[in-house]
Amino acid sequence: MAWNTNLRWRLPLTCLLLQGAMVILFGVFVRYDFQADAHWWTGRVRRNLSDQENEFYYRYPSFEDVHVMVFVGFGFLMTFLQRYGFSAVGFNFLLAAFGIQWALLMQGWFHSFQDSHILVGVENLINADFCVASVCVAFGAVLGKVSPIQLLIMTFFQVTLFAVNEFILLNLLQVKDAGGSMTIHTFGAYFGLTVTRILYRRNLEQSKERESSVYQSDLFAMIGTLFLWMYWPSFNSAISYHGDSQHRAAINTYCSLAACVLTSVATSSALHKKGKLDMVHIQNATLAGGVAVGTAAEMMLMPYGSLIVGFLCGIFSTLGFVYLTPFLESRLQIQDTCGINNLHGIPGIIGGIVGAVTAASASPEVYGEEGLVHSFDFQGSKANWTPRTQGKFQIYGLLVTLGMALMGGIIVGLILRLPFWGQPSDENCFEDAVYWEIPKGNNTVYIPEDPTFKPSASSVPSVSMTSPLPMASSVPLVP
Amino acid sequence: MAWNTNLRWRLPLTCLLLQGAMVILFGVFVRYDFQADAHWWTGRVRRNLSDQENEFYYRYPSFEDVHVMVFVGFGFLMTFLQRYGFSAVGFNFLLAAFGIQWALLMQGWFHSFQDSHILVGVENLINADFCVASVCVAFGAVLGKVSPIQLLIMTFFQVTLFAVNEFILLNLLQVKDAGGSMTIHTFGAYFGLTVTRILYRRNLEQSKERESSVYQSDLFAMIGTLFLWMYWPSFNSAISYHGDSQHRAAINTYCSLAACVLTSVATSSALHKKGKLDMVHIQNATLAGGVAVGTAAEMMLMPYGSLIVGFLCGIFSTLGFVYLTPFLESRLQIQDTCGINNLHGIPGIIGGIVGAVTAASASPEVYGEEGLVHSFDFQGSKANWTPRTQGKFQIYGLLVTLGMALMGGIIVGLILRLPFWGQPSDENCFEDAVYWEIPKGNNTVYIPEDPTFKPSASSVPSVSMTSPLPMASSVPLVP
Amino acid sequence: MAWNTNLRWRLPLTCLLLQGAMVILFGVFVRYDFQADAHWWTGRVRRNLSDQENEFYYRYPSFEDVHVMVFVGFGFLMTFLQRYGFSAVGFNFLLAAFGIQWALLMQGWFHSFQDSHILVGVENLINADFCVASVCVAFGAVLGKVSPIQLLIMTFFQVTLFAVNEFILLNLLQVKDAGGSMTIHTFGAYFGLTVTRILYRRNLEQSKERESSVYQSDLFAMIGTLFLWMYWPSFNSAISYHGDSQHRAAINTYCSLAACVLTSVATSSALHKKGKLDMVHIQNATLAGGVAVGTAAEMMLMPYGSLIVGFLCGIFSTLGFVYLTPFLESRLQIQDTCGINNLHGIPGIIGGIVGAVTAASASPEVYGEEGLVHSFDFQGSKANWTPRTQGKFQIYGLLVTLGMALMGGIIVGLILRLPFWGQPSDENCFEDAVYWEIPKGNNTVYIPEDPTFKPSASSVPSVSMTSPLPMASSVPLVP
């Protein structure tokens, strides 16, 4: 069936309604926290603080790095599709811009609510970006198959569930999850995979030709990959305790990511009959190491521990792209456009387990007496906790997260299945022209055989002519 | 008429002359300020300061973000034209590199001049980048229609006028303008619009075909958009007072920009008969919120206040692109290539007014007694000022800025009209090949109809063949 | 001869072997330094330090900037080749990911070895990135002519030699080289040039057509150029002493780079018969100023001194691209793909000399008594040193570096010449399809004459049809 994809009234109304609600809710609830309020000038004197000691200077650089990961990192990583670049970067922009506002409210009610107001500072901005990152992850699963309206609705519900799940983990179960292996990646991935399962499209192969990359779209995607890779140490350390925890989180992530690159390349080459590399693996599997040290990054995982995590995840992730993704689609009817199960799902679970084991095996020898207490807050309500207890609760946290993701994904998936959200028909998926006015003079191309390339023994190419796969829609719109 | 666009001697001479002058003037005037001078080592002991308290650590991260906005942000934002990418990013690079040096001198004479020397530190670098940002804004209006020599001349005069205007506002009128809604955006926009009015080209439609984007050029432009959007909180907070002011400025900008994205999308979709989004709006209108909170960002605008500003500017800016820009060209003969009036002009004026109102309505309840005095420097010469007075002077500042921009634009425009600056003829505008050696193997393309795209009910495309609009010049140069 | 370029077993084994070795060596040697270890919590109290005083906050922002330069900067700068974008950014990613790990070990043994362990903190991460930067420089010389296995082997040896050379310079000769003009750029450039000389390919002109850019590949390269240019002040100041030294290093680099842009543009235009600009010069020569102030950046070079250095290097570098590179290839059989001799080689040597002169002419008047001692560590073993001595040793450092680079380059070059590393045959150089699975629907294009471009008097184009030079390999692989 060809659904109506004309969003002329639906999209504007959805955006204005949501944004209007944000204005009202912010007006009622959101204020500046102590360090961002002009009364600081009064307070700082009383509290004998200098302006230089403002939290801003210890969190803001990390915040900006995380901000870049969410908007350029995820946005461009998804531009790999040949005819879906506008939507990848544009819809990611849209959902993230809405998501951070809604996240400020949801997380604020749970964590920064004081005498009937949500007090926001730079740390809230980081957490809002974190929350949205999990939506960007889920976006990867449904990329090309949903309308911007569906994305806004998904964002609304996912942010809500994220905040609840985060509250259960951090406040009730009191687990540690600095880089969000569980709260961000595992939750985002399995929420998204469940949604895409519910939205299963039987005749998607009608759009299969468009569900692949072209040369330049792969280069654009590498911009996303590299900014995610380079700033991941900031991501995993952004909200750790000041001092050694934050410092350590950055080092561990740096190491894990480095190891991950080499094993991804190794696996990618080993799985190709001519030993050639596949851009999909380089764009995605190389990042799995960052996901997998998310929970343990701030712990005494040790640099070699990080290398081991990265080493394994590079292999698992690449194997996932080659064997698991096709299996999920053919057998479980899970159409995972970006393969988020391999980049965020499995590495996220590994990260949760690594975190639990690292916590359980913590000892005063390794952390120092005070260090142990400080690192895991073994005081107050946790005074009688042992590393073992911590490890146990970390596992509970992982299980709760999986449960929340599946349950939430089913409900939200069913809502998104309603036929009036402007979703594209099966033959028009992965197509910018459905929602965007595409410039007429696009780079659609015909593929001649290269006269200059002389294949050497080991790389005999098929010279079969293939039908043109344009970089962009070649459908000029009526002016 | 076909003017001579061969710059072989004129461009090199202009560059060397200007750079030579910079060397001499820097030699005579520029030295390191206290915190960047080796004597710091002596002074710090005397002043009982630690190396960690060096201003560098509180301003440098913001500086780098601003630096990225000027060179990658503005540079790539303007690569949206299909055949003008080299010039957009290359000429922006050239004028900004010259502009920051000249700005260090001009602003230095006004603000950092001590016993016959200009003392520079990291804050001077930020201000120089700010000054150049207003030139990049003006560049957007004349993009594609001027030669690099004209750009260097424009930069020279605009930086000079910018510094004078900034001095009048900040020192004489004592207004607050942290993010430069007035000094940077309003000034840059109306200066540029006046210049392009004076340089009106009657037969520009001969180049109209080239004055549009192609698929990839729009993706390149999104790189610029996103880096501007992500780092704007750093831009608006970069030179605010340490502590709460800087912290608050970042939060307000973050909020305003987020709201702006949703309303830009809403308006863009609502104005298209099929509800499709226009990349031009997503690339530009989404940034208007950052411009419009420039002045008030460091004030107690409140997060919801920021959302309201962003909400409105997203709408106004998009409307401007659809209705105002064509009107300005047809009626007022203002050819605004990038639509800077919609992104910097109107939002800049709104920002100035918002700043005035926010200042006028400041109160001890909201700021705290000391907070109020500190935020607006109500001491010394301003000891007897009330918020009202401040608000009044903010408006004066806005008016002075508009006057300076128009006056300056007329004079500079007339200078640039002289026929020997190597400007392109009307039929060769928006064309890289005029000033650049273009690689032969370019991505010029022919547009077949896409065999795979099945238009659904709501998006019936015209299948009319359109003439090729290449991504780059297809004129191979003689080796 | 057509060598076997099927890396199916060789590449995976090399990667896994190297990464496995890293895991073991990290396990045996690498631990967290005091500031990243949980015992900090104990120590900080004893040492009366606050978490805010952790080194992390004074080095991390600079580290991230350097990180971006290595991966996005160098990676994208080399995407200018029309059919080698995947390899440029992908292989750079691979070698850098391995290099930073090996560098942490090599540099650690020399500089951070305490009671049988290498203690790493954020400064080690910066130094590891620095070391890898010199490998990225060398990669520029052999770009397109080597296999990823050869690159990994080259990285292994170059990092080793880099660490030795760095130890000789910094510890034995006690020279200053904050931005690495000598240790990073001169070493990397002449090492790479020697290697490419040894790997001379007599019949490379068979791939000449592919050894050039296309319109979009040049735009992608500009992403690399700009991120290198913008973050270079962080690069040159990243490991300077806290306070004025770091502050000054950033200012000097900012000035030098700005001047360099104008003179590069001037020279590029002056050398073209029609005064047109060449993207190659804009992409590379504009960065020479950053290289050339590397050593002296933290010294009292003075802003005008920096301008002079940038002024000259922009000219020399551009001249090098036009006259020297062809000469090196035709006469000395040095095939320098990216022209690193012009961007890193000559400017690096100039930087070393500038550093020596600046050091030799240091005086108490300029630095202050304590400042002089502090800046050059004229205490302990250097107590009796004069600025002259320092200058002399700076020159020794430069000579040692050149010697190490040439010697090392010859040895490594000979190793890389062994026929079983999977290098491409002469007719398949600069070709992604040899090592990558290239998406079928690529942007290969045919070049029609542009119907709309009316050449003006000064830019009469040849309209001769040229054979298609696709952006990507047009060889579809068998599924």
How many contacts, defined by CB atoms under 8 Å, are there between A and C? 325
pLDDT digits (tens, 9 = 90+) for B158-177: 999 999 999 999 999 999 99
> Cα(first)–Cα(last) distance of chain B, in Å?
27
Backbone angles phi, psi at A442, to 5 degrees: -100, 175
The residues pairing with B277 across neighbouring beta strands, listed in sequence order, are A436
Query: Of A36, A97, A440, which is closest to B466 when you measure between CB atoms?
Result: A440
> Which residue's structure tokens are 């000022």?
B385
| CA distance linking residue C91 with residue C149, whole number of Å | 10
pLDDT (0 to 100) of residue B440: 76
- State how far the alpha carbon of A90 is from the alpha carbons of A7, A10, B382, C216, C370, in Å: 15, 18, 47, 21, 55
Cβ distance of B36 and C229 shorter than 8 Å: no
Q: B187 CB contacts (<8 Å, ≥6 apart)? A: B134, B161, B162, B165, B348, B401, B404, B405
| Domain over C9-34+49-422 is classified CATH 1.10.3430.10 | yes
In B113-134, which positions are buried (b, 16+ CB within 10 angstroms) versus exposed (e)? eeeeebbbbbbbbbbbbbbbbb
Taking a C-beta distance cutoff of 8 angstroms, is the pair A354, A183 a contact? no
Element (H, E) at C30: strand C30-32
B219-276 residue pLDDT tens: 999 999 999 999 999 999 999 999 999 999 999 999 999 999 999 999 999 999 999 9
- Asked if C3 reaches chain A (Cβ–Cβ under 8 Å), the answer is yes
- Say how far apart CA A105 and CA A112 lie, in whole Å: 9
DSSP state letter for B31: E
| Closest C-alpha to B162, from B151, B173, B174, B154 | B154
Residues A397 and A348 sit within 8 Å (Cβ to Cβ): no
Predicted confidence (pLDDT) per residue in C450-472, tens digit: 445 555 444 433 333 333 333 43
Largest CA distance in chain C: 78
Task: Dig out the tokens for B14 from the structure.
Answer: 């202009």
Q: Parse chain B into domains and list their residue ranges.
A: 9-34+49-422
In contact, A74 and A155? CB cutoff 8 Å: no
Token pair of A469 as six digits: 């796969």
- How far apart CA C389 and CA B125 sit, in angstroms, is 34
B439 and chain C in contact, CB less than 8 A: yes
Pair B442, B470: CB distance under 8 Å: yes
Q: Is the Cβ pair A462, C478 closer than 8 Å? A: yes
3-state secondary structure of B453: coil
pLDDT tens profile B18-60:
999 999 999 999 999 999 999 887 776 667 788 888 999 999 9
Write out residues in chain A with pLDDT < 50, as ranges: 1, 443-451, 456-479
The structure tokens listed for C353 are: 């000399």
With beta carbons less than 8 A apart as the criterion, state whether A300 and C23 touch: no
CB contact under 8 A, B469 and A427: no
Interface test with A, best of B312, B456, B474 (most A CBs within 10 A): B456
Angle at B125 between CA B310 and CA C73, to 5 degrees: 80
- CA B426 to CA C151: how far, in whole Å? 50
Determine phi and psi for B254, rounding to 5 degrees.
-55, -45
CA atoms within 13 A on the CB side of B296: 36
CB A367 within 8 A of CB A309: no
Place of tokens 């946005």: A75
For residue A134, the number of C-alpha atoms closer than 13 Å in the C-beta half-sphere is 35
Task: Determine, for residues A441 and B212 on separate chains, whether the beta-carbon distance falls below 8 Å.
Answer: yes
In this prediction, residue A47 carries a pLDDT of 72
A26 in contact with B, Cβ within 8 Å: yes
Nearest CA in chain A to C425: A456
* Residue C446, token pair as written in the block: 């045919």
Between B320 and B470, the higher pLDDT residue? B320
The residues facing C117 across adjacent strands are C114
Rounded to an integer, the average pLDDT of C373-396 is: 95
When pLDDT is averaged across residues C319-332 and rounded to a whole number, the result is 96
Rounded (5°) CA angle C303-C309-C311: 100
Cβ–Cβ below 8 Å for C471 and B443: yes
Of residues B4, B15, B100, nearest to C258 (C-beta): B100
What's the pLDDT at C467?
33
pLDDT higher than 90, residue B471: no
pLDDT of residue C476: 34
pLDDT computed for residue B2 by the predictor: 57
Packed helices C56-68 and B56-68: angle between N→C axes, nearest 10 degrees: 20
Q: What is the phi/psi pair of residue C337, to 5°? A: -50, -50
The DSSP letter of residue C202 is T
Instruction: Quote the CA–CA distance of A417 and A421 in Å, as a whole number.
Output: 8
Q: Which of A223, A307, A448 faces C444 most closely, judged by CB atoms?
A: A448
Q: How is residue C32 annotated by DSSP?
A: E
Q: Give the pLDDT confidence of C35-85 residue by residue, as tens digits.
A: 999 988 777 666 778 888 899 999 999 999 999 999 999 999 999 999 999
Q: Phi first, then psi: what are they for C30, rounded to 5°?
A: -90, 125
pLDDT tens-place string over residues C428-438: 999 999 999 99
Whole-angstrom Cα distance, residue A451 to residue C475?
A: 10
Given a contact cutoff of 8 angstroms between Cβ atoms, the answer to whether A64 and B66 are in contact is no
CB contact under 8 A, A248 and C37: yes
Contact predicate C356/C391, CB 8 Å = yes
Check if A50 contacts C (Cβ < 8 Å): no
**Hey, are the CB atoms on A476 and B447 less than 8 Å from each other?**
yes
Q: Are A108 and A30 spatial neighbours (Cβ–Cβ below 8 Å)? A: yes
Sheet holding B30-32: strands in order across? B30-32, B117-120, B113-114
User: Neighbouring chains of A at 3+ CB pairs within 8 Å?
Assistant: B, C
What is the structure's pLDDT at A43?
75
Contact C185, C177 (CB under 8 A): no
pLDDT of B209: 86
Percent of chain B topping pLDDT 70: 91
Q: Residue with structure tokens 């000469």?
A: C327
Size of interface B-C (CB pairs under 8 A): 325
State whether residue C121 is helix, strand or coil: coil
Residue among B7, B85, B439 whose CB faces C275 most closely: B7
Cβ atoms B297, B242 nearer than 8 A = no
Tens digit of each residue's pLDDT (9 = 90 or more) over A172-225: 999 999 999 999 999 999 999 999 999 999 999 999 889 999 999 999 999 999
Place of tokens 């670049």: A85
Q: Which of residues 206-245 of A touch B (CB under 8 A)?
A: 206-207, 209-210, 216, 220, 223
Residue B443: the pLDDT is 47
Q: CA dist B334 to B195, C7, C192, C289, Å? A: 9, 60, 53, 39
Query: Which pLDDT band holds residue B453 (cuts at 50, 70, 90)?
Result: low
- The beta-strand segments (E) located in B298-419 are none
pLDDT at A440 (0 to 100): 76
Supply the pTM of this predicted model.
0.94
Record: contact A38-B469, CB cut-off 8 A? no
How would residue C441 be classed by pLDDT, with cut points 50, 70 and 90? low
CA-CA distance, A56 to A54, in Å (whole number)? 5
DSSP assigned state of A240: S
pLDDT tens-digit series, residues B288-329? 999 999 999 999 999 999 999 999 999 999 999 999 999 999
Given a contact as 3+ CB pairs under 8 Å, which chains touch B? A, C
B435 — contact with chain A (CB < 8 Å)?
Answer: no
What are the residues facing A120 on neighbouring strands? A32
